[in-house]
Structure formats: C-alpha cells, structure tokens
Amino acid sequence: MKLSYRFLPSCAAAAALLLGLAALTTTSCSKRDKNAAAPAGTSNLLLAEWAGPYGGVPPFDRVKVSDFKPALEEGMALALAEIDKIAANPAPPDFENTIAAMERSGRALDRAATVYGVWSTSMSTEEFRAVEEEMAPKLAEFRDKVMQNPRLFERIEKVYQARKDSGLDDDQQRLVWDYYTDFVREGARLTAQQKTQVAAINRELADLYTKFSNNLLHDEESYVLYLAADQLGGLPESYVQAAAQAAAERGRQGKYAVLNTRSSMDPFLTYSTERALREQVWRTYYNRGDNGDTYDNNSVITRILELRAERTRLQGYPTFAHRAIEKQVAKTPEAAMELMMKVWPAAVARVGEEVADMQAIADREGAKIRIEPWDYRFYAEKVRKEKYDLDSREVKEHLELNKLREAMMWAAGELYGFRFEPVSGVPVYHPDVRVWEVKRNDRHVGLWYFDPYARPGKRSGAWMNAYRSQHRLDGGETTIVSNNSNFVKGAPGEPVLLSWDDAETMFHEFGHALHGLAADSTYPSLSGTAVARDYVELPSQINEQWLGTREVLNRFALHHKTGKPMPAALIDRIEKARTFNQGFLTVEFLASALVDMKVHTLADLSGFDPDRFERETLAALGMPRELPMRHRMPQFSHIFSSEGYAAGYYAYLWADALTADAWEAFAEGKGPWDREVARRFYDHVLSRGNTVDPEIAYRAFRGRDMDTNALMRDRGFPVH
C-alpha cells in the first residue's frame, strides 16, 4: 500500500481530494490490484472485487452514498490488519515479504476509495459532503497509522539498506527507494510525541481541505447570472443556446445562465459587449471563496498554512516548499524560482505591449475607458482580429467537441499505435459518460471513460484520473483511465463548439490519459503517471501541440454546419498568431505559481492575512493591474484542497520547458509525425512511469538535458 496522491490537478483546473483520501492513491493512478478476491465476510459493494468485462469494471451504476462510510471504515480496518501482518512477519525483511507485500495490500480499500473519489469530484451532493466531512479525519488518521508504524518502517529501512547487495533489479531498487524516502519524509524517524503531533495536524488539515473544497463548490454552484434576451449583445449563437439550456435546467425558462465556472466565464468576457455585465461576471468569478460570508476561505487558508509550517518544522525541513520539492525534478525551491523569474520579466513586458494595443483600439473606437481586467479578453479579441485577421468565433465554428475527440484518438493512433473502440454495457456514474476500449497492436490495453459536461455537484475545471493502473504483479492488470471536463452542454441536437483554449485543454488532459494507457511497469506504484509533479505534465503539454497541425485540422476541424474543412487561409492565420496573447497567458499563470511558492517559503506566519499577502506579493513582483492571477488564493484548489500541487504549481512551467525542448526534437527530425521520435518518446517517457529517474528518462529520449531557452523561443520571448 503505497501512500501518495491520486488526482492530477494538472489538469487545467484539477480536481483535488481531501488529504486522507488522496493519501490512499497515487498521483493519478491507483497503486494496487483492485481485482483481488473480495475480503471474506464483507457484503459491501464498494469493497468487493470488480466484476464484468475487461478484467472487471467499477460498479458505478449500483453505488449509493450510504455505502461509502461503512466501506471506507471496513476497508481501513482490513488494510491495517494487512499492514500489521507485514510488520509482524517473523522472517527477516526482504523485498518480497515487505515491499512487494505492501504493493499487494489495501486492495479492498483502494476499490472503495476509487469510487469515493469519483463522487467527490463528479457527483457531489449535500448528503455526500456530509460523509466527506465525517470521513476526512478518519482517513487522515488511517494514513498516519501506516506511515508512523515503527515496526513497518524498521523492515522497510533494512530492505533499503541492503538493496544494492540483494540482487534487486533496477525497478525493484527504485521502488524500495521510493517507499523508504516517503516514510522518512512523513516522519517515520520522529519521536512518539512528535508523531502524535503530526497525526493531530494531519487530521485537522484533512478537515480543512474538505472545507475549502466545499466552500468553493458552493460559490461555483450558487452564483449564477441570469440574463434577459436584450443582454446578449456580442455573444455567439452557440453560447446563447448553451446558456438557455443551463438556465432551463435550473428552472429559469426564457433566461440565459452565465455559470460561475471558467468555461462559462471566459467566453462571456471575450464576446459580451455589455461592459457592466462583464465586470459583474469577472468580479463574481474571481471572488469565489472570498465573499466574507460563511463560505469564505481566507481563515481556512491561514490555518492550513500554519499547520503545514508546524508539521514541516517537526519533519525537519526549513519550509514546506523545501519538503514538497525535494522529490521533484527541480529538487529545490530556488531552482523552481530561477526558472519562473527567467520568464517573468519578458512576460510582463509583453503584457505591456498587449495592453497598449488594446487601449489604442478602445481609444480609436471612442470607448473612453481605461483597460480593466474585465476588458482584457474582450479587447484582446479585437486585437487578434485586427493584427492577424483572426476571429476566434470563426475558429470556434470548426471546433466541435465530438470531432475533437475523434482527432485526439486519431493522433494517438498515428503516433503510438493506439486504437479506440466504443463499448456499451459498462456501468457509468452519469448518462453523459461514455466508454471506449483501447487497443495497441491488436492487444487490449485498457478503458477510457469520457465525462465532458458541467453539472451541479461536479467540480470545475478539467482533469484525468485512473480507476486502475497497469502493472504485471501477480498476473497483472490493464489500466482504466478517465478524462473529465466542464463544457456547457448545448440544447438537444445542438453541437458543442469549443474555443481554441478549450480544445487545447482537451488534448492536454488526453495526454495524461495516454501516459496512463502507455504504462508498462511490473509494480503499480511505479506505473503510468505516478511520477514527479514537474514531470507529469510533459506528456499532457506536448500532446497539445498536435492540435495545431494541418493533418489534424484538415481532417477534424470541420465546420459544424457545412462539414467543410477549416480553410487553409484560416489555418495560416492561426499559425501566424501562435504566440498571440502570450503575455496574458504567461503572467496569469506565473502570478499564481509565484504566490504559491512564496507563501510556502515563509518562515514567519504571525499576523498572516491571505488577501494582504496576495496584494503585497503581486505588487512587489510588478504584477500588471490589467489582469488577475489565474487562481487567486481563496479559490486555489491545486494548493489548498489537498497537498497535490502545494508549492508545486510551478510544475506546469517546468514541464512546459521540457515540452518546448521535446517538441523541437520533432522539428529537428521529420516534423510532428516523425514516428522514430514518437517511438523514442513512447519508449523513454510515456511507458516508463517512475521506473527510472525522470532526468535520466528525458536524457535517454532527447540525447541531452533540457534546454530552457526552448521555452523562451516557444513563447516568442527574447532569449538572452
């Protein structure tokens, strides 16, 4: 039972789980064989072996919220009994009776936790949230009972000390190192009193992570702007239809709903000619979790940071960030900051140029305004059209959801040999979810679930997660992965048209899925996406690149009415505008990443106030006033609804530097569809998981270390 994290909040706006649950699973892949025999004597559906085709599938269609508490409680008891048996084994510790035994343990609990995670992110209700609040501290306590078990750690330590002389292969040595390092980081060497303190901190943090998530979900669900027909100026017809459908679903027939999610907010700010409404939508969205009411997250944030700092001191690290990054590719906060600050000045300078272009148009049109944050997207669109003759609405007419899904699958086949075949009869948790079988070289690889639409009870953003990770232990398992988005569903029979950014997000998350599907590991703890945070985004971010290739656009960017391919002249304009708005996109992201790193390297939290810290930090950085952080602290789920990306949001930039350098490898070859380069990427990156150090894996693919100047070139920034 390797205790780590499950969900990828890479993922454009990743879903995060409470600490206790997250600790049961890996970065985005389950660590254990979920299809072992059901525990003797249990009747709980969630603990039982998965039945059905493809090696068994989750019983989503039979789940009741009332199943979760007893399943988790019984699953924890069963898992602890297995741990105690390993720890009490009278035989001398070795890889098989300690490390491999850990890999095999906790299977029933993992099955329950997998389904529990899906409900947390995609099917949440008031009834379920009550269960979450009750179970969060219990799950955290369970985690500590494992990580603080002295007899268990003693065995792990002895295997670790003897690993180089025990005849272990490279994968086994890597797995031993991973277990040992995680136990030490969690405080296995602390005194009994210190362990008690850490356990109490973890229980309180689990409560706080759940509270943060539920507060944010409340604001996303509760704040809906309903428009009348005379307030729709500038909005594309596809948006209007989707807004009408969203309003009807909420009992407001004849109105048009602007939801408090990025997928609804972003196009409204881009197209609406109603400036006062743009400001209202902007403020509502960026004030999520920061409204001074019962659901305000500022006091939650303060307490989370205090507890993290206290626990970090007990664990022997100077700051939380130092502990969080030591197992990442960057290794230190200083290295992460160095890359961010290499990019920041050029990005800020580019924002200045972008704002000047916008202001010139506003002045020429006689708007008599100064560009404000709620104007940025609106006037950026005007600049795009003026400079590049590129209208994002024209582009959107060619980006239909289902055709883009087909495009992703086709590209994965051309590059890596994957084939996707739709299947029926597999249980799903919502009617919107569809399932495909994935094959490679006519061999079953796994299943891919797709859940594309926003709905009440589903957290915002987009993410990938795995219900089962590939491994070869004890006969092995194939993987089951999912991609989850929050596109606004259109009226029946109407196409769902996506912006270019949303289309990139689809390709991004699908890259994570391919990473899981390509997994080829003996041990589930080392499989697929169970890699460093600043490396896990490489497969997803490079997958975005194929969206813009002519081969994909010519085949799949078909006009939703005429069915005609995107005109070559339009593709030319898209390519010409490739680095357009990079100032906004880079600064918006980096502001959040820098605030995350700076808050987690604070040595003194006395008198800490999140709003003040955010304002002062951005001011010191020279944050342009015309745009906000991508994620303000009260809504920053990546770092406050779990620890998945805490002091790790920089990881997207680090992986983007890897991505830019990796993409140049294709350019140096025969182009985007160079199958030899794709083969090297598959063999050394996609399929290797965590069986080898990421730096070594990347070097094997690229033939050298990463060149960070590739990132500057990719974004159109000057290289010094």
What confidence tens digit (pLDDT) does each residue in 500-510 have? 999 999 999 99
- Write the CA distances from 203 to 140, 185, 198, 429, 645, integer angstroms: 5, 17, 9, 30, 19
Q: Which residues are catalytic?
A: 509
Q: Report pLDDT for 305.
A: 98
Q: Which residues contact 440 (CB under 8 A, 6 or more apart)?
A: 416, 417, 418, 419
Helix axes 237-249, 262-271, angle to 10 degrees: 140
Within 8 A by CB and 6+ apart from 335, the residues are 325
**Residues 243-271: tens digit of each pLDDT:** 999 999 999 999 999 999 998 999 999 99
Predicted pLDDT of residue 36 = 42
Q: In the predicted model, is pLDDT for residue 439 greater than 50?
A: yes
pLDDT at residue 42 is higher than 80 = no
Residue with tokens 């699973």: 25
Q: What is the pLDDT of residue 720?
A: 78
Res 431 pLDDT > 80? yes
The tokens describing 128, both together, are 């379920």
**Rounded Cα distance, 375 and 350, in Å:** 17
Query: What local confidence, expressed as pLDDT, does residue 18 receive?
Result: 30
Determine what percent of the chain is predicted with pLDDT higher than 90.
91
What pLDDT digit, counting tens, does each position of 216-237 carry? 999 999 999 999 999 999 999 9
Summarised one tens digit per residue, pLDDT across range 624-652 is 999 999 999 999 999 999 998 999 999 99
What pLDDT score does 491 carry? Answer: 84
Q: Which among 479, 467, 487, 470 is positioned nearest to 405, based on CA atoms?
A: 487
Lowest mean pLDDT of 30-44, 139-153, 262-276, 288-302, name the range: 30-44
| Whole-number pLDDT of residue 373 | 98
Domain ranges of the chain: 19-218+301-325, 223-286
- Tens of pLDDT, residues 174-194: 999 999 999 999 999 999 999
Mean pLDDT, the chain, as a whole number?
93
Residue 546 has pLDDT above 50, yes or no: yes
Single-letter amino acid, residue 86: I
pLDDT, one tens digit per residue, over 296-355 is: 999 999 999 999 999 999 999 999 999 999 999 999 999 999 999 999 999 999 999 999
The confidence band for 26, taking pLDDT boundaries of 50, 70 and 90, is: very low
3 state SS for 537-585: HHHHHHHHHHHHCHHHHHHHCECCCCCCECCHHHHHHHHHCCCCCHHHH
- The tokens describing 531, both together, are 């890699």
With beta carbons less than 8 A apart as the criterion, state whether 263 and 488 touch: yes
Does residue 603 surpass a pLDDT of 90?
no
Q: How confident is the model at residue 39 (pLDDT cuts 50, 70, 90)?
A: low
Q: Looking at residues 73-88, what average pLDDT do you find?
A: 98
The 3-state secondary structure of 60-126, one letter per residue: HHHCCHHHHHHHHHHHHHHHHHHHHHHHCCCCCCCHHHHHHHHHHCCHHHHHHHHHHHHHHHHCCCH
Evaluate if residue 413 carries a pLDDT over 80.
yes
Yes or no: say if 368 and 361 are a contact pair by the CB < 8 Å rule.
no
Question: Please, which pLDDT band fits residue 28 given cuts at 50, 70 and 90?
Answer: very low
Torsion of CA 368, 372, 377, 378, to 10 degrees: -20
Q: Say if residues 29 and 516 touch (Cβ distance below 8 Å).
A: yes
- pLDDT at residue 22 tops 50: no
Residue 466 has pLDDT above 70, yes or no: yes
pLDDT band of 40, cuts 50, 70, 90: low
Q: Largest Cα–Cα distance in the chain?
A: 84
pLDDT digits (tens, 9 = 90+) for 554-576: 999 999 999 999 999 999 999 99
- The pLDDT score that the predictor gives to residue 276 is 98
> What is the spatial distance between Cα 45 and Cα 63, in angstroms, rounded to a whole number?
8
Per-residue pLDDT, 644: 86
Looking at residue 475, the DSSP 8-state letter turns out to be G
Beta pairing class for 434-440 and 463-468: unpaired
Residue 406 exposed, middle or buried by CB count within 10 Å (0-12, 13-18, 19+): middle
Count of C-beta atoms within a 10 Å radius of residue 461: 26
The architecture that CATH gives domain 19-218+301-325 is Orthogonal Bundle (1.10)
Residue in the structure block whose two tokens are 């680095």: 579
